[in-house]
């Protein structure tokens, strides 16, 4: 952290992820990511209404998916600032157990506890949660933040996010592109230089940026993204395979059972992560359903080859996005000095193998892939707090 003072900045960096949200701050030239009272630094982006006036957030909300599904919202960033009639929004909403309507601004309203909530109101609970965590840890009322956003966020989506931030009690908010934040975080990792690619495969979005880091300031040469491509979609492909097997065995379609379907998707996420450490994993939901013959469980064992085949089309889509950015910048991929892997989905061996084969240049993940965006946002926040010119392309809405 060259140039940072030894003070703590009250401007925090936030990664409002589709699946996980995190908050960090620069303290005494060191970046600290805060854990909430449950001990989680990566806080599941899930909100559950206990009543109209009381919500729980994170793992406490995830636990309620089974007991209070119609009051629990998973991955709300997918809906933030999007039109209710968008095809992807409609297919997402069709899988949710709560009712949704088109609001006066053309965006979705979710009916929970006899109240219709706008998506910024829902996302505000996540931002409010991390604002509370940071305020408690820093013993000050935190009201300023740099929030990382996907490169595909347009003005409508940024305005919706700004509304959420205001509802959460923030007064000043700047934005930074997620891959750019990851580049900032990796800046002090040995070997950083030249023109790099930032491959950011998260839970709900995929972003790729080409950044020239050879000078004292970074220059973003090109960005491209897919707002509906993430680890959630890989979970869904696995869940479809599990549901098909269950149908063959029991003639029940789990996709039509809201609670059970969400449990299957969570089980697929667990199995996917387990494949990082072992060759085989089992998608398991014990006693998933009562049938005429009693309780039945879901169990499907997958290995890395089966997984790689299931995820191939989605991984190829991410590489097509990379090629778009390369074409835009008129850069041959062999000229890149390295690809920096970030986003939780970049942990997957199938992803790493495909990226390495596609680019033929070294892959680097100096900073933990799922933390780089948050840490980079907090470094940018330290710059903002010192009223320096932002080092990068940060977007600010008035």
Active site residues: 15, 77, 178, 200
Q: Are 297 and 263 in contact (CB under 8 A)?
A: no
Distance in angstroms (rounded) separating the CA atoms of residues 271 and 265: 10
- Could you tell me the smallest distance in angstroms from the CB atom of residue 36 to Mg ion? 18
Distance in angstroms (rounded) separating the CA atoms of residues 287 and 277: 26
- Could you tell me the smallest distance in angstroms from the CB atom of residue 3 to ligand ATP? 28
Strands 99-102 vs 108-112: parallel, antiparallel or unpaired: antiparallel
- Could you tell me the smallest distance in angstroms from the CB atom of residue 177 to ligand ATP? 11
Residue 272 interacts with ligand ATP (CB under 6 A): yes or no: yes
For residue 232, the partner it binds in ligand ATP, Mg ion, none, with Cβ less than 5 to 8 A by kind, is: ligand ATP
Q: Please identify, using beta-carbon distances, which residue of 109 and 182 lies nearer to ligand ATP.
A: 182
For residue 230, the partner it binds in Mg ion, ligand ATP, none, with Cβ less than 5 to 8 A by kind, is: ligand ATP
Distance in angstroms (rounded) separating the CA atoms of residues 373 and 342: 8
Residue 232 interacts with ligand ATP (CB under 6 A): yes or no: yes
Residue 273 interacts with ligand ATP (CB under 6 A): yes or no: yes
For residue 19, the partner it binds in Mg ion, ligand ATP, none, with Cβ less than 5 to 8 A by kind, is: ligand ATP
Scanning 18-26, 126-134, 353-361, 382-390 for contacts with ligand ATP by CB under 6 A, the matching segment is 18-26
Helix, strand, coil content of the chain in percent (nearest 5): 40, 30, 30
Nearest one of 297, 304, 227, 240 to 272, comparing CA atoms? 304
For residue 344, the partner it binds in Mg ion, ligand ATP, none, with Cβ less than 5 to 8 A by kind, is: ligand ATP
Site for ligand ATP in 85-124 (CB under 6 A): none
Scanning 13-21, 53-61, 83-91, 126-134 for contacts with ligand ATP by CB under 6 A, the matching segment is 13-21
For residue 72, the partner it binds in ligand ATP, Mg ion, none, with Cβ less than 5 to 8 A by kind, is: none
Site for ligand ATP in 19-58 (CB under 6 A): 19-20
Nearest one of 151, 319, 317 to 222, comparing CA atoms? 151
User: Which of 77, 125, 129, 137 touches ligand ATP (CB under 6 A)?
Assistant: 77
Closest residue to ligand ATP in the complex (CB):
231
Residue 125 interacts with ligand ATP (CB under 6 A): yes or no: no
Query: Residue 17 in 3-state DSSP?
Result: coil
Q: Which residue has the tokens 């949200």?
A: 21
28: left (phi over 0), alpha (psi -120 to 50) or beta: left
* Token digits of residue 280: 């085989």
Residue 348 interacts with ligand ATP (CB under 6 A): yes or no: yes
User: Which of 202, 225, 366, 376 touches ligand ATP (CB under 6 A)?
Assistant: 202
Size of interface with ligand ATP, in residues (CB under 6 A): 24
Q: Which long-range contacts (CB under 8 A, 24 or more apart) does 385-391 make?
A: 385/9, 385/10, 385/11, 385/144, 386/4, 386/5, 386/9, 388/3, 390/174, 390/176, 391/184, 391/217, 391/218
Helices (H), the chain: 59-62, 87-94, 119-138, 155-167, 178-185, 231-250, 258-274, 304-329, 349-359, 372-385
Q: Are 48 and 72 in contact (CB under 8 A)?
A: yes
For residue 174, the partner it binds in Mg ion, ligand ATP, none, with Cβ less than 5 to 8 A by kind, is: none
Residue 204 interacts with ligand ATP (CB under 6 A): yes or no: yes
Residues that bind Mg ion (CB under 5 A): 17, 202
- Which positions lie near ligand ATP, rule CB under 6 A? 15, 17-20, 77, 178, 202-205, 230-232, 269, 272-273, 276, 343-345, 347-348, 370
């Amino acid at each position: 952290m060259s140039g940072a003072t030894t003070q703590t900045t009250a401007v925090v960096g936030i990664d409002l992820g589709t699946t996980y949200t995190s908050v960090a701050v620069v303290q005494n030239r060191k970046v600290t990511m805060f854990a909430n009272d449950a001990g989680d630094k990566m806080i599941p982006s899930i909100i559950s209404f206990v009543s109209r006036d009381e919500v729980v957030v994170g793992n406490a909300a995830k636990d309620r998916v089974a007991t209070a599904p119609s009051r629990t919202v998973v991955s709300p960033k997918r809906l933030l600032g999007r039109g209710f009639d968008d095809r992807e929004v409609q297919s997402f909403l069709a899988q949710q157990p709560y009712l949704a309507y088109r609001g006066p601004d053309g965006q979705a309203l979710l009916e929970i506890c006899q109240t219709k909530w706008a998506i910024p109101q829902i996302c505000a609970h996540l931002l409010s949660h991390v604002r509370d965590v940071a305020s408690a840890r820093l013993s000050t009322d935190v009201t300023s933040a740099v929030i990382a956003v996907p490169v595909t966020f347009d003005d409508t989506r940024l305005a919706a996010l700004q509304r959420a931030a205001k509802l959460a009690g923030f007064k000043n908010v700047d934005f930074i592109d997620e891959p750019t934040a990851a580049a900032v975080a990796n800046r002090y990792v040995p070997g950083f230089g030249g023109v790099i690619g930032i491959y950011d495969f998260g839970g709900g979005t995929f972003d790729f940026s080409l950044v020239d880091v050879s000078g004292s300031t970074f220059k973003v040469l090109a960005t491209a993204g897919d707002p509906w491509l993430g680890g959630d979609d890989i979970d869904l492909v696995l869940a479809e395979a599990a549901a098909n097997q269950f149908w063959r065995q029991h003639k029940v379609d789990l996709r039509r059972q809201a609670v059970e379907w969400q449990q299957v998707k969570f089980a697929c996420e667990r199995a996917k992560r387990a494949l990082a450490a072992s060759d085989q994993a089992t998608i398991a939901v014990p006693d998933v359903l009562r049938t005429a013959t009693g309780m039945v469980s879901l169990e499907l064992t997958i290995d890395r080859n089966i997984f790689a085949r299931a995820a191939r089309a989605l991984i190829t889509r991410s590489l097509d996005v990379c090629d778009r950015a390369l074409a835009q910048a008129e850069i041959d991929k062999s000229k890149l000095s390295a690809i920096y892997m970030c986003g939780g989905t970049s942990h997957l061996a199938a992803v790493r193998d495909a990226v390495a084969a596609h680019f033929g240049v070294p892959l680097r993940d100096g900073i933990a892939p799922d933390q780089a965006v948050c840490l980079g946002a907090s470094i940018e926040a330290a710059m903002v707090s010192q009223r320096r010119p932002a080092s990068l392309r940060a977007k600010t809405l008035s």
